[in-house]
Structure 1
Amino acid sequence: MSFRTLAAAAPLALVLAACSPSAEGSDGQDAASADGATASATAEAAGAAKSVKEENDLYSFSYAYPAQVGGVPELAAHLDADAEKAKAALISESEDDRTQAEANDYPYRAHSFSKEWKVVADLPRYLSLSGEFATYSGGAHGMYGLESLVWDKQANAGMDGVALFQSAEALDEALGQKLCDALDAERAKRRGEAVPTDAGDDGTGFNSCQHVKDATVLVGSSGGGKFDRIGIWFGPYVAGPYAEGSYELNFPVDAAVIEAVKPEYREAFSAR
């Protein structure tokens, strides 16, 4: 299954679903009312899921997170701030583009931003989330990507999934040839032929092994007790051309992966 890299706008699959116990206003004016748009927002008591949607002639915006996030006030506040920042940027960029369109006599296409957070794993101390986002800014196609967020319930702080490890390179080394083999196997399925062994690197990286530093890392759990699964997500244009989309690879935690984890987080992991 399905991860901060950008690529072409299409829905993302939830990474590591099987690993989960379950799976800027420019000048202060409300752009929605200014454009005669409809807006809706739901949610929002502690412990509740959140879903905010706004659509008008200038932009469309949506942001959502599940009830597990609503149950952690500090985390909910962190993501609410993220939503406000994203909306402010969207409005500012949309207004700038519309001004340019009017000045240069070309049609303005409404911009959009959406992000949805989903639970990858909910452990006693940690909540692992994936944040699927998509943007459109008037071009031929949009962009999308995936973020990783692991919230430490005890410390009331969050981090990217890869921050649990000593470095991206350490995790790369721990996964080793398995990462390259899994990537090439998936490439072969999509292309209908194996990646040539003598293909080498043509500068695109579409035939060579890719690395954790260019991926989004998610940590999952098969039973909700410990992290025992690792998800590696490469956005389109990283491991293959646009048409191939993103690459989603999953691996069990083993002794080598645990060795790559920072000592302070090793108790949260177990080998399968």
Structure 2
Amino acid sequence: MTALRALLLTVAVTASLSACNRRDREPAADAPLPAAEAPAEITPADAAAPMNFATTSPYAAVKLTLPNALKAQTDLHARLYADEVRLLRQFVEGAQADRSEAGDDPSIPPYEKTITLTAAAETGKLVSLRRDMSEYSGGAHPNTTARGVLWDKALKQVIGSGQLFRRGADMSLLDQALCAAVNTARARRVPGAPPLTLAGGGEWTCPRAAATPFVLAPGTVDGKAGGLTFLIDPYKVGPYAEGSYAVTVPLTTFRTLLAGAYADEFAGQPAN
């Protein structure tokens, strides 16, 4: 497995895709976790990867959309396309097995899975993409997740928080800032919602920064990131009906935590 494949396959689609077990549950994170392993084999067809992929069968409909920002990053483009298409084909195969086992009831609509990557921000060294996944295999609603892909253009590899921040850095200040940003966003969306804490004690708890997916936030200085936008899935800080959150923490909160190799990629304030 490659660093990128491990990033994209945290939770692989299983062959059974049991609709019963998938209904009304917390969404699975089926992508982005960094790892350092052997690079994926990229075929000549993958190297000329298109920006879209879609296929439909009686059992499932799947779709992949990639951003134009990938065209300049041919290695990342090829690997993302190869790994995401592989994941979608596995989903189609699993859907067929699952529905056949259940008697292939024609009243049940085909399963669906879409993966959409969008450009978040780019600096001199880094390209940041947001990956949104929606998957439906029965139940009251689809499962959705959002993840970040952070690509070092010179090293030609995906990095995570372990590389972006100094080893051994005290993340407590960033944890507190993220918690405050979540509470501010929730108060706007759900007036009167009790504030969350890092310690917990209630049904929901503030997320920890190191365990929360993120993308670079465009900054007020050209070619620099002004902060980090953390991506919080439904069920993480509130019920499904509350939805997902994308909350931005400014550079001033974590500047001293950044690894030396990436400190110069940040400046100013978040643009939005």
When residues 160 and 62 of structure 1 are mapped into structure 2, their CA distance, relative to the original with a 3 A threshold, is farther
Q: Deviations over 1:48-69 (max 9, x none)?
A: 9712222232111111112221
1:148 equivalent to 2:148? Answer yes
Which amino acid letter does the alignment assign opposite residue 153 of structure 2?
K
* 2:51 matched residue in structure 1: 50
RMSD over aligned CA atoms reads: 3.2
- Structure 1 CA distance for aligned equivalents of residues 196 and 149 of structure 2: 36
SS in 1 for 2:87: helix
Which amino acid letter does the alignment assign opposite residue 121 of structure 2?
A
Which amino acid letter does the alignment assign opposite residue 190 of structure 2?
R
* 1:246 matched residue in structure 2: 244
Q: How does 1:176-215 map to 2 (within 5 A)?
A: 176-195=175-194, 201-205=200-204, 208-215=205-212
Q: Between the two proteins, what is the percent identity of the paired residues?
A: 25
Q: CA deviation at 1:195?
A: 1.5
SS in 2 for 1:182: helix
Q: Deviations over 1:169-197 (max 9, x none)?
A: 95742325332222222222222215269
Q: CA deviation at 1:270?
A: 2.5
1:121–1:220 Cα contact (<8 Å) kept:
yes
Larger mean CA deviation between 223-232 and 91-100 belongs to: 223-232
* 1:109 matched residue in structure 2: 109
1:134–1:144 Cα contact (<8 Å) kept:
yes
Q: Deviations over 1:32-80 (max 9, x none)?
A: xxxxxxxxxxxx996x971222223211111111222122221111111
Larger mean CA deviation between 128-137 and 81-90 belongs to: 81-90
- Structure 1 CA distance for aligned equivalents of residues 185 and 114 of structure 2: 28
Q: TM-score, normalised by structure 2?
A: 0.72
* 1:96 matched residue in structure 2: 97
- Structure 2 CA distance for aligned equivalents of residues 175 and 214 of structure 1: 12
2:122–2:224 Cα contact (<8 Å) kept:
no
Q: How does 1:1-272 map to 2 (within 5 A)?
A: 50-102=51-103, 107-160=107-160, 163-166=163-166, 170=169, 172-195=171-194, 201-205=200-204, 208-222=205-219, 223-254=221-252, 256-272=253-269
Larger mean CA deviation between 73-82 and 108-117 belongs to: 108-117
Structure 1 runs of 4+ aligned residues shifted over 3 Å read: 4-9, 105-109, 160-163, 169-172, 200-203
SS in 2 for 1:233: strand
When residues 72 and 186 of structure 1 are mapped into structure 2, their CA distance, relative to the original with a 3 A threshold, is closer
Report how many residues are paired.
Answer: 228
When residues 266 and 220 of structure 1 are mapped into structure 2, their CA distance, relative to the original with a 3 A threshold, is same
Which amino acid letter does the alignment assign opposite residue 99 of structure 1?
S
SS in 1 for 2:131: strand
SS in 2 for 1:102: coil
Unaligned stretches of 5+ in structure 1? 10-43
Q: TM-score, normalised by structure 1?
A: 0.72
* 2:35 matched residue in structure 1: none
Computing the radius of gyration from Cα coordinates, the structure with the larger value is 1
